[in-house]
């Protein structure tokens, strides 16, 4: 395997020029962009004339040299050359030893829950991705795997909730849609002081470009690759990462046995989409911050949540544990359901739709969605995934929609 980190170690003396502002967040490793382009992409590994672009390996089965003797792969549910490549590259970006690819973020997430047995206990967060929350409440619960949901912004709540049956602590940071942060280092220390408890972090909202939880001692990192990793709203995929050999063996067994694996074509698209991750994430951050600052000063807005704003209650923690923030913003409109409906109806550039992390800006009103798990969310809470359009157009779009929809104190 290409050890890109070592190969470029001598280049550090050339790292004098920083072209992009870090906005006070941790300073990024500039070679991240080199890694994402070259790791696991050695042209020599593909026999047909050293192509720069990875071929798509569609074959479901591979010729054996003798019964049970495989050249590298046996059968595509178990192993596939295109999937193996994507698993290697994401592992390298997160600084993990192993990566495992799944057919969706939820397929990756439920594989982690499949490590547990009836009677085991999970500690998780009250503010959680809806799909994960539904699985824990309506599927795991029926298998007698119970979850205690706590406010994880205070790590003491997690410590209190851990009992002798707890086997897993499951966190999302920043969370969806509250953009609450978890102090990963503190929670990792609590979990390490307990016997036989794993810590898993859903890193979807920031991608490995802006946050790498293994730096703080977690056991498992999860991504819905459907979002920022792919970034083009045309692939549904999930990724699990770990450094632990035994944990990897068990997760690999579950991946192969359950069979919720992505197709080679999806793996190809993810590999392609990821090549621009650093460029996209920097632009998402710049656009997101500009939009957040605009909304913060708008008379029709009650409150804006963005970890890069001084007004975010965990702004200092955000700067300490991440390299930046993505395009995710949550804000509260002055008004109720009618104003919220009018606002999204009047948007011309920003699209009303589920999902996030693509090049296009998307807006969602969680409380107006039919799913019951979103009942606790305030009606005037709006989630915005700021895309890569010209930010002036996004701000103009928001401004005209707000002026038309909200009639309080607007000149």
Ligand X SMILES: *Cc1c(COP(=O)(O)O)cnc(C)c1O
**Residues at the contact surface with ligand X, assessed by CB under 6 A:** 104-106, 129, 131, 172, 176, 202, 204-205, 224, 226-227, 236, 238
In the bound state, the residue with its beta carbon closest to ligand X is 105
Active site residue 77: yes
Burial class (CB in 10 A: 0-12, 13-18, 19+), 74: middle
Beta carbon nearer to ligand X, 181 or 406: 181
Handedness of CA 314, 318, 319, 320 (dihedral sign): positive
Q: In the complex, what is the shortest distance from the CB of residue 227 to ligand X, in angstroms, rounded to a whole number?
A: 6
Q: Are 291 and 384 in contact (CB under 8 A)?
A: yes
Beta carbon nearer to ligand X, 236 or 401: 236
Burial class (CB in 10 A: 0-12, 13-18, 19+), 408: exposed
Active site residue 202: yes
Is-cis flag, bond preceding 238, omega within 30?
A: no
Give the active site residue among 35, 83, 227, 334: 227
What are the CA-CA distances from residue 85 to residues 81, 98, 263, 297 (Å)?
6, 12, 13, 46
Q: Which helix (H) or strand (E) holds 285?
A: helix 277-296
Beta carbon nearer to ligand X, 211 or 300: 211
Q: In the complex, what is the shortest distance from the CB of residue 222 to ligand X, in angstroms, rounded to a whole number?
A: 7
Give the active site residue among 23, 26, 29, 77: 77
Q: In the complex, what is the shortest distance from the CB of residue 381 to ligand X, in angstroms, rounded to a whole number?
A: 16
Q: In the complex, what is the shortest distance from the CB of residue 305 to ligand X, in angstroms, rounded to a whole number?
A: 15
What are the DSSP calls for 373-400, one per residue? GGTTS-TTEEEEE--SS-HHHHHHHHHH
Give the active site residue among 98, 102, 129, 228: 129
Beta carbon nearer to ligand X, 95 or 131: 131
Give the active site residue among 167, 202, 219, 364: 202
Report d(CA 237, CA 39) in Å as an integer: 20
Q: In the complex, what is the shortest distance from the CB of residue 69 to ligand X, in angstroms, rounded to a whole number?
A: 36
Q: Which positions are catalytic?
A: 77, 129, 202, 227
């Amino acid at each position: 395997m290409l050890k890109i980190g070592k190969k470029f170690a001598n280049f550090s003396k050339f790292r004098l020029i920083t072209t992009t502002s870090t906005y006070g967040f941790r300073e990024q490793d500039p070679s991240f962009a080199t890694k994402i382009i070259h790791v696991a992409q050695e042209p020599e590994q593909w026999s047909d004339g050293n192509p720069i672009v990875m071929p798509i390996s569609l074959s479901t089965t591979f010729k054996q040299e003798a019964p049970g003797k495989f050249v590298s792969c046996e059968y595509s549910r178990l192993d596939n050359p295109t999937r193996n490549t994507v698993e290697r590259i994401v592992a390298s970006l997160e600084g993990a030893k192993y990566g495992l690819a799944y057919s969706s973020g939820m397929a990756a997430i439920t594989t982690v829950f499949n490590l547990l047995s009836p009677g085991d206990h999970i500690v998780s967060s009250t503010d959680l991705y809806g799909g994960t929350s539904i699985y824990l409440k309506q599927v795991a619960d029926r298998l007698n795997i119970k979850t205690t949901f706590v406010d994880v912004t205070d790590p003491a709540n997690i410590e209190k909730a851990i009992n002798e049956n707890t086997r897993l602590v499951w966190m999302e940071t920043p969370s969806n849609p509250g953009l609450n942060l978890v102090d990963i280092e503190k929670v990792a220390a609590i979990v390490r002081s307990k016997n036989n408890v794993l810590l898993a972090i859903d890193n979807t909202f920031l991608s490995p470009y802006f946050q790498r939880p293994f730096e703080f001692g977690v056991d498992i990192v999860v991504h819905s690759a459907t979002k920022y990793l792919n970034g083009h709203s045309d692939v549904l995929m999930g990724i699990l990462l770990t450094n632990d050999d035994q944990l990897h063996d068990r997760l690999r067994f579950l991946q192969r046995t359950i069979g919720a694996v992505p197709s080679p074509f999806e793996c190809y698209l993810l590999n392609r989409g990821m090549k621009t991750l650093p460029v996209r994430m920097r632009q998402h951050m710049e656009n997101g911050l500009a939009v957040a600052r605009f909304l913060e000063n708008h008379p029709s807005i009650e409150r804006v949540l963005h970890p890069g704003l001084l007004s975010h209650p965990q702004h200092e923690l955000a700067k300490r544990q991440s390299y930046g923030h993505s395009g995710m913003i949550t804000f509260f409109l002055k008004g109720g359901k009618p104003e919220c409906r009018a606002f999204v109806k009047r948007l011309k550039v920003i699209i009303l739709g589920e999902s996030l992390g693509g090049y296009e800006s998307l807006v969602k009103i969680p409380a107006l969605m039919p799913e019951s798990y979103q009942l606790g969310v305030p009606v005037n809470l709006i989630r915005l995934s700021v895309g890569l359009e010209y930010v002036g157009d996004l701000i103009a779009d928001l401004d005209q929609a707000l002026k038309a929809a909200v009639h309080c104190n607007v000149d």
